[in-house]
């Protein structure tokens, strides 16, 4: 096992990793920006180092500073969490060059699956279902011909994209040309790679993702699916596991396809295979997230697997501690992402000081957070305050438990998304479970 793990991240995910390391008995190193000097992840780690200024580019994306902190502290492994360095193949390669274990997949797997056009090609070669699409677009006129063949609408995507950026839907040839150019600009700005590709756009499908874990001995296990269909601008708002739209037969097929996808990429570590599910229960590979997911906690609740602990264990060179036959999914779990945003002002970020903070509790309730009363939410990073997760034997019991927890949750001093979720969780369409990715386009507050 590792002597010491540096966490190249901040906030609640850094604390989640620190806790897993403590339980294993591994000392931890936190890194932090000047803006995060008062963050909880700094005080909970065994030791901590300031690595730069407020902006991410000067701190959490500062590779020389992170590597220096690892070498100074004697850390022999780095956990990237999610976001920031988690899907940077170049960072994983630099870790390798310094004899530091990157707790994640190999740089080669990240490059293969991180380029979404290449990932689609890889999946198609292994008979994993994909939507009709193209490789990297080099000729706009050829792209228009392909779009006519697929049928509109189509969606243009950045090959290195994520987080809803670099994605635009086109309904006409004129829109397609415009959106290719816009997506190229966005891709260059956000990812440093202007390449884009195109695929047939499924109107209002379900967004289903399957959690996988793989070790270096060729063992790959899936932990069931999550439903992430309720989104705003392609960014997830609420997740649940399992999906109310997936029956046992489809679940089995999804799991098998996800395992096949991971094997096709020679994947090692924790990852997520994302699919689109149409109304006839046909599913199509969309992309692979080669990292820990924000919503991994609800899968932990239904599978009784500590995903972060297992991730560290297999990165250290050990075999998976379980097989597919050991996984017995139980009950239902829902997650709400509580952000410092104003729902009444189009979810405008609302940084500031929290002057009152009381979390909900009780059986089946989990709150992953890094804030406290008196904590100042900085304006430089994602506005996530916490992940509120609930588990119960059935979906309806879980939904009612979540409503109870949301009503108990008190955060004062800043605007939050708590009122939005309190209303959404009681919405008739959500209660029915019969929703899709178009939910937020028609959602109206009751």
Residue 110 lies in a domain: no
Residue 117 lies in a domain: no
- The predicted structure's pLDDT at residue 191: 84
DSSP string computed for 168-221? EEESSHHHHHHHHHHHHHHHHHHHS---EEEEEPPSS-EEEEEEEEE-TTS-EE
**Active-site pick, 184, 291, 337, 395:** 291
- The predicted structure's pLDDT at residue 126: 87
Q: Are strands 77-79 and 47-52 parallel, antiparallel or unpaired?
A: unpaired
Who wins on pLDDT, 123 or 64? 64
Helix (H) or strand (E) holding 338, with range, is: strand 332-339
Residue 122 lies in a domain: no
Q: Are residues 372 and 428 in the same domain?
A: yes
Cα–Cα distance measured from residue 269 to residue 52, given in angstroms and rounded to the nearest whole number:
29
Of 184, 200, 216, the position where a domain reaches its end is 200
Distance of CA 409 to CAs 349, 358, 371, 405, Å? 19, 6, 13, 6
Q: Are residues 96 and 78 in the same domain?
A: yes
Of 173, 200, 227, the position where a domain reaches its end is 200
Q: Which residues contact 332 (CB under 8 A, 6 or more apart)?
A: 240, 241, 242, 302, 391, 392, 393, 394, 395, 397, 398
Q: Are residues 211 and 337 in the same domain?
A: yes
Cα–Cα distance measured from residue 172 to residue 183, given in angstroms and rounded to the nearest whole number:
16
One-letter-per-residue 3-state SS of 199-212: EECCCCCEEEEEEE
Average pLDDT over every residue of 19-29: 98
Q: Are residues 182 and 248 in the same domain?
A: no
Residue 24 belongs to a domain with what CATH number?
A: 3.40.50.20
Average pLDDT over every residue of 305-309: 98
Please, are residues 78 and 9 in contact by the beta-carbon 8 Å criterion?
Answer: no
Q: Which domain holds residue 250?
A: 206-442
pTM greater than the 0.95 cutoff: no
Distance of CA 414 to CAs 41, 155, 236, 344, 383, Å? 21, 36, 21, 13, 11
Q: Are residues 325 and 241 in the same domain?
A: yes
Residues 125-173 have pLDDT tens digits of 888 999 889 989 999 999 999 999 989 999 999 988 776 788 999 999 9
Residues 51-86 have pLDDT tens digits of 999 999 999 999 999 999 999 999 999 999 999 999
Residue 40 lies in a domain: yes
**What is the CB neighbour count within 10 angstroms for residue 359?**
17
Q: Which residues contact 27 (CB under 8 A, 6 or more apart)?
A: 3, 4, 5, 21, 46, 47
Residue 137 belongs to a domain with what CATH number?
A: 3.30.1490.20
Please, are residues 259 and 123 in contact by the beta-carbon 8 Å criterion?
Answer: no
Who wins on pLDDT, 273 or 192? 273
Residue 54 lies in a domain: yes
Residue 422 lies in a domain: yes
Q: Any catalytic annotation for residue 401?
A: no
Q: Are residues 362 and 381 in the same domain?
A: yes
Residues 232-281 have pLDDT tens digits of 887 899 999 999 999 999 999 999 999 999 999 999 999 999 999 998 89
Residue 319 belongs to a domain with what CATH number?
A: 3.30.470.20
Q: Are residues 328 and 406 in the same domain?
A: yes
Residue 173 lies in a domain: yes
Count of domains observed in the chain: 3
Q: Are residues 262 and 359 in the same domain?
A: yes
**Which own/partner pairs from 60-69 qualify as long-range (CB within 8 Å, at least 24 positions apart)?**
60/8, 60/9, 60/10, 60/31, 60/33, 60/84, 60/85, 61/85, 63/90, 63/91, 63/94, 65/31, 66/6, 66/8, 66/31, 66/91, 67/94, 67/95, 67/98, 67/100, 69/6, 69/29, 69/31
- The predicted structure's pLDDT at residue 163: 67
Tell how far CA 301 is from the center of its chain: 17
- The predicted structure's pLDDT at residue 165: 81
Q: Are residues 251 and 142 in the same domain?
A: no
Phi and psi at 430, nearest 5°, equal -65, -40
Q: Are residues 99 and 11 in the same domain?
A: yes
Phi and psi at 117, nearest 5°, equal -65, -45
Reply yes or no on whether the pLDDT at 210 is more than 80: yes
Q: What is the mean pLDDT of the chain?
A: 95
Q: Are residues 279 and 196 in the same domain?
A: no
Residue 175 lies in a domain: yes
Cα–Cα distance measured from residue 169 to residue 156, given in angstroms and rounded to the nearest whole number:
6
- The predicted structure's pLDDT at residue 119: 86
Q: Are residues 140 and 98 in the same domain?
A: no
Cross-strand pairs, 214: 220, 269
Cα–Cα distance measured from residue 402 to residue 421, given in angstroms and rounded to the nearest whole number:
9
- The predicted structure's pLDDT at residue 189: 86
Please, are residues 408 and 360 in contact by the beta-carbon 8 Å criterion?
Answer: yes
Reply yes or no on whether the pLDDT at 446 is more than 60: no
Q: Are strands 28-33 and 47-52 parallel, antiparallel or unpaired?
A: parallel
């Amino acid at each position: 096992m590792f002597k010491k793990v540096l966490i190249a991240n901040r906030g609640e995910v850094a604390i989640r990793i620190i806790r897993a390391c403590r339980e294993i008995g591994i000392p931890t190193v936190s890194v932090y920006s000047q803006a995060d000097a008062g963050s909880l992840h700094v005080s909970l780690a065994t030791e901590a180092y300031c690595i730069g200024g407020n902006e991410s580019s000067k701190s959490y994306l500062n590779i020389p500073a992170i590597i220096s902190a690892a070498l100074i502290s004697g850390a022999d492994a780095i956990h990237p969490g999610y976001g920031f360095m988690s899907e940077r193949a170049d960072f994983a390669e630099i870790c390798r060059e310094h004899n530091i274990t990157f707790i994640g997949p190999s740089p080669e797997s990240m490059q293969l699956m991180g380029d979404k056009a290449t990932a689609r090609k890889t999946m198609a070669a292994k008979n994993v279902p994909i939507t009709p699409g193209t490789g990297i677009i080099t000729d706009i006129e050829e792209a228009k011909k392909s779009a006519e063949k697929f049928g509109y609408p189509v969606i243009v995507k950045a090959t290195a994209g994520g987080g809803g950026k670099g994605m635009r839907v086109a309904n006409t040839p004129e829109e397609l040309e415009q959106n290719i150019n816009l997506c190229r600009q966005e891709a260059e700005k956000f990812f440093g790679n202007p390449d884009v590709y195109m695929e047939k756009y499924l109107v209002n499908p379900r967004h289903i993702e399957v959690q996988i874990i793989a070790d270096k001995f060729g063992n790959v296990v899936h932990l069931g699916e999550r439903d992430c269909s309720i989104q705003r601008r392609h960014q997830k708002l609420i997740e649940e596991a399992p999906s109310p739209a997936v029956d046992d037969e489809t679940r089995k097929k999804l799991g098998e396809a996800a395992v096949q996808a991971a094997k096709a990429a020679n994947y090692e570590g924790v990852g997520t295979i994302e699919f689109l599910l149409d109304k006839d229960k046909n599913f199509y590979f969309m992309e692979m997230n080669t990292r820990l997911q924000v919503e991994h906690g609800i899968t932990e609740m239904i599978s009784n697997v500590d995903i972060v602990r297992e991730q560290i264990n297999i990165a250290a060179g050990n075999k998976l501690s379980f097989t597919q036959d050991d996984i017995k999914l139980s009950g239902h779990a829902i997650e709400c992402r509580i952000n410092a945003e104003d729902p009444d002002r189009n979810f405008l970020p609302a940084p500031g000081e929290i002057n009152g903070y009381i979390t909900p509790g009780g059986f089946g309730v989990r709150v992953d957070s890094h804030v406290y009363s008196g904590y100042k939410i900085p304006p430089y990073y994602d506005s996530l305050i916490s992940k509120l997760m609930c588990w119960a034997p059935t979906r309806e019991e879980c939904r009612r438990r979540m409503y109870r927890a949301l009503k108990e949750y008190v955060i004062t001093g800043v605007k939050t998304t708590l009122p939005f979720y309190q209303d959404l969780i009681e919405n008739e369409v959500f209660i029915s479970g019969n929703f899709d990715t178009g939910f937020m386009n028609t959602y109206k507050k009751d």
